[in-house]
């Protein structure tokens, strides 16, 4: 590799989240001299206030159903189960400390220099951190996003998704504002943990952008589990009263709760980074504009992850990091430049209860793109619930382009939907046809076998 030795580093990464750490380690493994600056926690949003603690809390909430459902299978609990918030929260803190340590060792073992502090970009090849100026051939901005809360009377009384994990005491009455991933996940979590839970969303139906049938099914299932859904309304004001928080909605309804989570989206975390003085171009939504090599309008400035405004998902940031390193620090120049990263058919899961797993196009998107589509949809009671007494149902759905017979979308709402859709994501990406699905012998007895046994068209 032939990098300019006149710089202190070949790559200076700002932000040790999923994308920043992956880029730093991979570039270092390719022979680059790399430093990472981080002023908060190693592992970024995902490890500290996102995916990881969320999944742990979601597991905790699922026990609620498990205890109730066990009776039909012959179990008697010696006493009624009770939940202790402090135990969950403090165990979570310990686990995250362990993960922070792993990230530290990963960087160390890769030979990356970790600098504790908030870096500021001072020119196209230099940053300032802790009063020191450090030069680098390339600077990677991997600072992620930050929760954003709209302004209304009392909005300062809300907590955001960074704070909700560590509440001092368990909110017996909980309200979530928003209708995206974070809102539905936390509504399910606090409902499962035993809080009287409300979700307030300004639109007609939450999870905008997801398949409509999935959204409606999820609405019904969440309502059955006891989440109080308030659609087409918003928070007008919150007032602190003696016994809690008095929330007034725009439709006039008043609720009293112990905590309000604002889950109204995230914004790029660019304040104070110095990029404005360099004239780096932004997209209309304030995210950093990059080309397919992840170069900003100042080409020595690179960026990836939530800050560039693609799908805000850890695996996307990781894929971007691998791509970026192949472009800028190729291990073997003869490998040639990679093509642009393919953002189609990225599977995701929403860990509301029951979970949603989805890959490819919604029915509505497929109709708009292909015109003629076939829908195969099954809404059934999972075998477990024949004895459990639960009325939870499961939805599985395939969206097929009628002309090519290709399965262009697979959707599920039900237990372990994320685990099941991950496998189907390979089939959808590989552009397999409904005929391939039909030719696959199922695994019995599973819920997932439904995906290869749905034979009759639900609608065209």
211 or 312: CB nearest ligand NDP: 312
Angle, alpha carbons 218-220-221 (nearest 5°):
65
Is 138 in a helix, a strand, or coil?
A: strand
What tokens does 71 get? 């009776």
Complex with ligand NDP: residue 417 or 454, whichever CB lies closer: 417
Report in angstroms how near the CB of residue 234 gets to ligand NDP at its nearest: 5
Q: What is the smallest separation between the CB atom of 92 and ligand NDP, expressed in angstroms?
A: 16
The Cα 298–Cα 421 span in angstroms is 39
Q: How far apart are the first and last CA of the chain?
A: 56
CB of 278 to ligand NDP, least distance (A): 27
Which of 3, 323, 327, 444 is the catalytic position?
A: 444
Helix, strand, coil proportions of the chain in percent (round to 5)?
35, 25, 40
For residue 223, give the nearest of 206, 208, 211 by alpha carbon.
206
Q: What angle do CA 425, 426, 427 make, to 5 degrees?
A: 90
Query: Which CB, 139 or 421, lies closer to ligand NDP?
Result: 421
Smallest distance, ligand NDP to C-beta of residue 188, A: 11
Chain contacts with ligand NDP (rule: CB under 6 A): 150, 177-183, 185, 201-203, 208, 234, 263-266, 311-313, 348-351
CA distance 190 to 60: 10
Measured from the CB atom, the residue of 127 and 321 that comes closer to ligand NDP is 321
CB of 203 to ligand NDP, least distance (A): 4
Q: Minimal distance in Å, beta carbon 283 to ligand NDP?
A: 15
Q: Which residue is nearest to ligand NDP (CB)?
A: 180
- Give Cα separations from 426 to 122, 429, 453 (angstroms): 44, 5, 18
To ligand NDP, the closest distance from the beta carbon of 179 in angstroms equals 3
CA distance 64 to 61: 6
What does the H/E/C string look like for 231-300?
ECCCEEEEEEECCEEEEEECCCCEEEECEEEECCCEEECCCCCCHHHHCCCECCCCCECCCCCCECCCCC
Q: How many Å apart are CA 328 and CA 147, to the nearest integer?
A: 31
For 92, 194, 374, the CA distances from 397, given in Å and listed in that order, are 35, 31, 11
The continuous run of DSSP H or E covering 135 comes out as strand 132-141
DSSP label at residue 76 = -
DSSP 40: S
- Mind giving me the DSSP string for 188-233? HHHHHHT-EEEEEESSSSSSTTS-HHHHHHHHHHHHHTT-EEEES-
Decide whether 205 or 322 has the Cβ nearer to ligand NDP.
205
Between 9 and 186, whose beta carbon lies closer to ligand NDP? 186
Nearer to ligand NDP by Cβ, of 181 and 451: the residue is 181
Active site residue 444: yes
Helix (H/G/I), strand (E/B), else coil: 97: helix
* In the complex, least distance from residue 18 CB atom to ligand NDP, rounded to whole angstroms: 12
Nearer to ligand NDP, 165 or 181 (CB): 181
Dihedral pair phi/psi, residue 57, rounded to 5°: -70, -35
- What residues act catalytically? 444
């Amino acid at each position: 590799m032939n990098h300019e030795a006149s710089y202190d580093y070949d790559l200076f990464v700002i932000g040790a989240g999923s994308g920043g750490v992956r880029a730093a380690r991979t570039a270092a493994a390719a022979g680059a001299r790399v430093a990472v600056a981080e002023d908060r926690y190693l592992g970024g949003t995902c490890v500290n206030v996102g995916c990881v603690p969320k999944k742990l809390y979601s597991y905790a909430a699922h026990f609620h159903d498990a205890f109730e459902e066990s009776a039909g299978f012959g179990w008697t609990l010696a006493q009624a189960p009770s939940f202790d918030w402090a135990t969950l929260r403090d165990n979570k803190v310990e686990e995250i400390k362990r993960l922070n340590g792993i990230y530290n060792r990963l960087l160390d073992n890769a030979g990356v220099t970790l600098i504790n502090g908030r870096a500021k970009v001072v020119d196209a090849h230099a940053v300032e951190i802790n009063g020191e100026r450090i030069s680098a051939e390339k600077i990677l901005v991997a600072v992620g996003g930050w929760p954003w809360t709209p302004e209304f009377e009392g909005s300062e009384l809300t907590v955001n998704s960074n704070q909700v994990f560590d509440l001092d005491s368990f909110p017996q009455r909980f309200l979530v504002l928003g209708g995206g991933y974070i809102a539905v996940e936390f509504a399910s979590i606090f409902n499962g943990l035993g809080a009287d839970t409300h979700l307030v969303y300004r639109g007609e139906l939450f999870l905008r952008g997801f398949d409509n049938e999935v959204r409606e099914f999820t609405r019904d299932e969440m309502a059955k589990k006891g989440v109080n859904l308030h659609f087409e309304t918003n928070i007008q004001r919150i007032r602190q009263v003696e016994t809690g928080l008095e929330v007034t909605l725009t439709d006039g309804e008043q609720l009293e709760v112990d905590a309000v989570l604002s889950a109204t989206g995230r914004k790029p975390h660019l304040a104070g980074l110095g990029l404005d003085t360099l004239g780096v171009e932004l997209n209309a939504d304030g995210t950093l504009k990059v080309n397919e090599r992840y170069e900003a309008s100042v080409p020595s400035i690179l960026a990836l992850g939530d800050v560039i405004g693609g799908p805000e998902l850890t695996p996307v940031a990781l894929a971007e990091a691998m791509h970026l390193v192949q472009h800028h620090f190729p291990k073997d120049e003869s490998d040639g430049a990679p093509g642009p990263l393919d953002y189609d058919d990225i599977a995701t899961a929403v860990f509301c209860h029951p979970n949603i797993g989805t890959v490819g196009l919604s029915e509505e998107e497929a109709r708009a793109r292909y015109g003629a589509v076939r829908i195969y949809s099954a809404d059934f009671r999972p075998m477990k619930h024949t004895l459990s007494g639960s009325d939870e149902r499961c939805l599985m759905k395939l969206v097929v382009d009628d002309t090519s017979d290709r399965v262009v979308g697979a959707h599920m709402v039900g237990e372990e939907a994320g685990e099941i859709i991950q496998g189907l994501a390979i089939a959808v990406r590989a552009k397999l046809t409904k005929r391939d699905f039909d030719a696959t012998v199922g695994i019995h007895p599973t819920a997932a076998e439904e995906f290869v046994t749905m034979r009759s068209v639900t609608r065209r």
